[in-house]
Amino acid sequence: MSAHDVNEQTGVDMLKARRSTTLALDTIRSFLHNGEDQWETRRKVTQILERDAVFDKARREFMSRTERYTRGMALTNRVYELQELHSWTQHETSIAIATLDEQLPISLHNVAFQPVFMLQASPPLLAKYSDLIATKGILGCYLQTELGHGTNVSRLETTATFIPETQEFEIHSPTTTSSKWWIGGLGKTATHGVVQAKLILPGGKDFGPHLFFVQLRSMHDHKVLPGIKIGDIGPKALGGFSPTDNGFAVFDHVRIPKEHMLSKFAQVTRDGEYVKPPHAKLSYGGMLYIRANMVTSGGWLMAKAATVAIRYATVRRQGEIGPDGLERQIITYPSVYYRILPILSHAYVFIRLGKTLTKAFDTLAGNLSRGDTSLLAEMHAITSGLKVVVSSTGVQDLEIARRSMGGHGYSAFAGLGRLYADYLPSVTYEGDNFVLDQQVVRAALKSYRSLFSESKESTTQSLLPSSRYLRLLIPPTRSLPSFTEDDFRSPTTSILLLEWRAALIVEKNARTVDDPDASINQRVAKAVTEAFIAAQIGEIINTLGSTGMTESEQIIVGKVYLLYLVTTVEAGLVDLLSFNILNSSGGSRDPTRSVRMTIKKLCTELLPEAIGLSDAFGFTDWELDSALGVYDGKVYEALWKCVQSEPLNQTEVPTAYEESIKPMLLRGQRQARPKL
């Protein structure tokens, strides 16, 4: 029998792991949070929430859907109460909402309704409503998707018919399939919405989908306004998105003033003439904003998964007995660290990339407001590709992290199952990933064709960051290098390989475009986006010197980024080998071994720093809400405590005994008796 106390050992193991880290926590934390000031702001806001009973999470897992919605609204109301009380800035309030770790209806107001309205409403409409929107004096949602159409926006059926006599639009749902569907915040919360509807002008001409600002509920008693039917669409898969009232809406000839068309770009004159927007895609700004934000939030979600899994794997001992007479910490098994350390690297990558992207979006928004669309196509290509990669990686990582924790990972108290259920639809909303892939491919082919167009000299100077990998195709005589294991210790090797893969697959796609295989779009989009991410990682590594990290810290964090690059190469081996990009050197028959051995070595070098690297995210126990990810490592105590609050445990004999268990037992005993 084991002589040591398994429970006590968890605390000992966590302390030891924490002591083994050589990183200065505050430097790395500051790097991840974009400066000490930002971190301090976040810490202060989180502390206020954590101490407030409204934000207690202890009963959350036992609540019904309706209770989750009601709780979600109470949390939201309290955040805005606190905003007033503490004079929080908009930024501080956004931190509070993000920190709550709930899918709240208010998010749709903040990330969809408000940005679209601010970017596309005419100046008079802005003057009337922008303050009310900012202060939550009205609550909004974004009504685009319908029962019959999602991806294909051009076939939406809701109509907005202009009535010149009254200078109004009439919003109407002509069919069952034109019912607005899936709309977050619509079911029970929103007072107003931005509705995507086909613009019909006098004479019946259809100008396609345009946006209209529509009041949905009374500001007096919250009742749905006449002519509109609204409801909640019911529970979602795996209990995800419980606090959000995704809803449906049907409009029956609902009149709105002409000024309520969002007409900053496209307009309708008083006598019903259409005025085209200066650029067909000017209205894409709002969507790009959401996608840019998804990169950052996806990064922080991966950070949570990594923190919980690394902490648990550090204190969970199972299996082989080591030299200390104790079972091995599961994090020391290659099959465990190989799964969870790459998640850490994904978090480091997307958190930093998100910051770059948000900055680029601010520049774009400034340009768009002046009618300058020059950056739009590039930003569209980049955000589409990144949205796909971040959401599919995040969904995968949450499940990998959960599974790495064995049986306890499946407990709701592990905290990752709920995050997974909530994050699952991110691969569908804001553009279905498989559909977005096509847009990335289209942009890549356009860059390829313009580079090789006969009308001008091929020049790599004009290549934008999203297609810089195409430079490798010029000059056309190419020799692909071969790499040793040592070469993979340098980021440039993986970056070059990933860029080569993108260049050759785009070239191949351009040549076989008339007869493509079925997975080509996914592979091309992935290759193109991963080449872009790889080049960005190169930049991040090159600038680590200016982050205040010591040289040894730069080496450790550099290894985290290198791990991302090399594992991306490993995941892309099928195409790298298909295109003969990865060659053996030194007579080895397996050119992939050097990649795989580099991953193993990087992981083992990073293991002593894993707790420090994940502590640097700065999550509190309240934020993680995971019995397996507690800071002090005492996972068994935490799990034991959670289980005691299970409602079934509040009575010794359940009500089901009299109703069902007892009759079943008695029936069984009666049936068995004759045979006894």
Ligand X SMILES: Cc1cc2nc3c(=O)[nH]c(=O)nc-3n(C[C@H](O)[C@H](O)[C@H](O)COP(=O)(O)OP(=O)(O)OC[C@H]3O[C@@H](n4cnc5c(N)ncnc54)[C@H](O)[C@@H]3O)c2cc1C
Among positions 14, 45, 97, 108, the unique one binding ligand X when judged by CB under 6 A: 108
Residues in the chain, how many? 676
What is the smallest separation between the CB atom of 240 and ligand X, expressed in angstroms?
A: 7
CA–CA separation, 239 vs 397, rounded Å?
A: 19
Is 58 buried (19+), middle (13-18) or exposed (0-12) by CB count in 10 A?
exposed
- Tell whether residue 145 is a contact of ligand X (CB under 6 A): yes
* DSSP symbol at 113: I
d(CA 594, CA 588): 10
Amino acid at 549: M
For residue 392, the minimal CB distance to ligand X (Å) is 12
Annotated ligand binding at 145? The verdict is yes
Quote the least distance from Cβ 182 to ligand X, whole Å: 4
- Tell which one of 80, 274, 338, 429 touches ligand X (CB under 6 A): 429
Report, as residue numbers or ranges, the catalytic residues: 430
Plot region of 475 (φ>0 → left; ψ -120 to 50 → alpha; else → beta)? beta
What the block records as the tokens of 311 is 């902490």
Distance CA 226, CA 500 (A): 60
Q: How far is the CB of 283 from ligand X (least distance, A)?
A: 14
Residues 6+ apart with CB under 8 A from 525: 385, 388, 436, 437, 438, 440, 441, 444
435 contributes a contact to ligand X by CB under 6 A: yes
Binding residue (CB under 6 A) for ligand X from 94, 215, 392, 428? 428
- In 3D space, the residue among 584, 602, 590, 417 whose CA is nearest the CA of residue 491 turns out to be 602
Q: Which of 432, 485, 487, 570 binds ligand X (CB under 6 A)?
A: 432
Residues 468-527 within binding reach of ligand X (CB under 6 A):
none
Q: Which two tokens stand for residue 234?
A: 């019911």
**Counting contacts by CB under 6 A, is residue 142 touching ligand X?**
yes
Interacting residue with ligand X among 83, 93, 179, 246 (CB under 6 A) = 246
State which of residues 105, 425, 572, 591 lies at the interface with ligand X (CB under 6 A). 425
Name the residue with the smallest CB distance to ligand X: 150
Closest CA to 532 of 474, 582, 463: 463
- Give the residue from 418, 404, 407 showing the smallest Cα distance to 308: 404
Per-residue contact flags (x/-) with ligand X for residues 550 to 589, judged by CB under 6 A: ----------------------------------------
Q: Which stretch binds ligand X (CB under 6 A): 14-22, 94-102, 140-148, 550-558?
A: 140-148
Residues with Cβ within 8 Å of residue 1, at least 6 apart in sequence: none
Site for ligand X in 177-206 (CB under 6 A): 182-184
Burial of 579 (0-12, 13-18, 19+ CB in 10 A): middle
CB atoms within 10 A of CB 472: 18
Q: Least distance from C-beta 541 to ligand X, angstroms?
A: 35
Q: What would you measure as the largest C-alpha separation in the chain, in angstroms? A: 96
Phi, psi of 616 (to 5 degrees): -65, -20
- Applying CB under 6 A, which of residues 144, 447, 493, 614 lies at the interface with ligand X? 144
Give 182 or 265: the residue with its C-beta nearer to ligand X.
182
- The residue range among 35-43, 118-126, 143-151, 371-379 that interacts with ligand X, by the rule CB under 6 A, is 143-151
Over the window 225 to 244, marking each residue x when it contacts ligand X by CB under 6 A and - when it does not, the resulting string is ----------------x---
Give the residue, chosen from 77, 89, 135, 151, that forms a contact with ligand X under the rule CB under 6 A.
Answer: 151
| Cα separation, 435 vs 150, whole angstroms | 11
Asked if residue 547 binds ligand X (CB under 6 A), the reply is no
**Which is nearest to 618 in space by CA: 9, 38, 2, 14?**
38
Give 235 or 663: the residue with its C-beta nearer to ligand X.
235
Closer residue to ligand X in complex, CB, 246/296:
246
In whole angstroms, the minimum distance from the beta carbon of 434 to ligand X comes to: 4
- Which of 659, 669, 549 has the alpha carbon at shortest distance from 613? 549
Of the candidate residues 434, 452, 579, 622, the single one contacting ligand X (CB under 6 A): 434
CB of 618 to ligand X, least distance (A): 28
Number of H helices, E strands in the chain: 23, 13
Beta carbon of residue 258, minimum distance to ligand X (angstroms, whole number): 24
The number of residues that bind ligand X (CB under 6 A) is: 19
Rg (CA), the chain: 28
Residues paired with 146 in a beta bridge: 180
Known binding positions for FAD:
145, 184
Binding residues: 145, 184
Interface with ligand X by CB under 6 A: which residues? 108, 112, 142-145, 150-151, 182-184, 241, 246, 425, 428-429, 432, 434-435
